[in-house]
Amino acid sequence: MWVFGYGSLIWKVDFPYETRFPGFVRGYVRRFWQGSKDHRGTPTNPGRVVTLIPHAEYLRTHSAHDPHAETANGVSIAECWGVAYRIADADVEAVKAHLDHREKNGYDCVEVDVFHPAVKGADGELVPVVHGALVYCATSANDSFLGPDAGVDEIARQIALTKGPSGWNADYLLGLCHSMQVLAPNYPDPHLVALERAVRQHIELINAADPPPAVLRVFPDFDTGDAEIHRVLEVDVVEVARLEKERARLALKPSNGDSYTAKPEDKER
């Protein structure tokens, strides 16, 4: 089983995995539009966390309310970078149960293909590194969906002020922004860039208030976790794709000794 993480699963990995690699999914837009009552906020003061919005739904329903609806610097907003994890067969049941609980507040599983710029077919076009990775998405139909109506500054203010059992909401945002700057520096997400700038400004205003807050807010120090994030970049993604292709070939091989003739589409995988 493969799992694709695009939020806290990038840097807060509390489950066993065999291998991982940085990559992106197509056809989804990452936005801080999901309310968090259980991790980065409370039922009375919810925080905000990311979800993936199907691009077709985004264009139909949300793009008119989003200032970052256009492609930025040639980077499509319908491509979302993150990290894919391969889970050993023996761990699948336990990891799936753990993630179902961790992502319980409005999230459902969908399957996605994960790409990387280094993995291409014979025609030079990108092909998936892995097919059918699980990803947790909170749809706009769930009760905790907040959407874009508040606007960037108000969303940033909410993130700057809220805290839940898992810590400050701002730490979640800043951790994600920092991870993306390391993993995909050539593919900036304008939504994340704008929110990071606005959240930092709000925290500076909170600290400069008169009278000052009882405890000054401190920006997270990411140096401790940087080595772990950078190790993701050391993975040979082409080799990961080769191994996945071999696994797929072996899975299609008959177990009764009959010969198997590869189909043309198998060669493209």
Q: What is the mean pLDDT of the chain?
A: 89
**Rounded Cα gap, residues 169 and 167, in angstroms:** 6
* Residue 262: predicted pLDDT: 42
For residue 263, tell me if it sits in a domain: no
Instruction: Report which DSSP code applies to 256.
Output: S
pTM for the model: 0.89
- Which residue stretches of the chain have pLDDT < 70? 70-75, 223-225, 254-269
Q: 53: which strand partners?
A: 29
Choosing from 57, 79, 93, 103, the catalytic residue is 103
Q: 117: which strand partners?
A: none
Contacts for 110 with CB less than 8 Å, ≥ 6 apart = 134, 135, 137
Domains: count for the chain: 1
Q: Is 125 a catalytic residue?
A: no
For residue 266, tell me if it sits in a domain: no
Helix H or strand E encompassing 243:
helix 237-252
* Residue 111: predicted pLDDT: 97
For residue 30, tell me if it sits in a domain: yes
For residue 269, tell me if it sits in a domain: no
Residue-number span of the structural domain to which 72 is assigned: 2-254
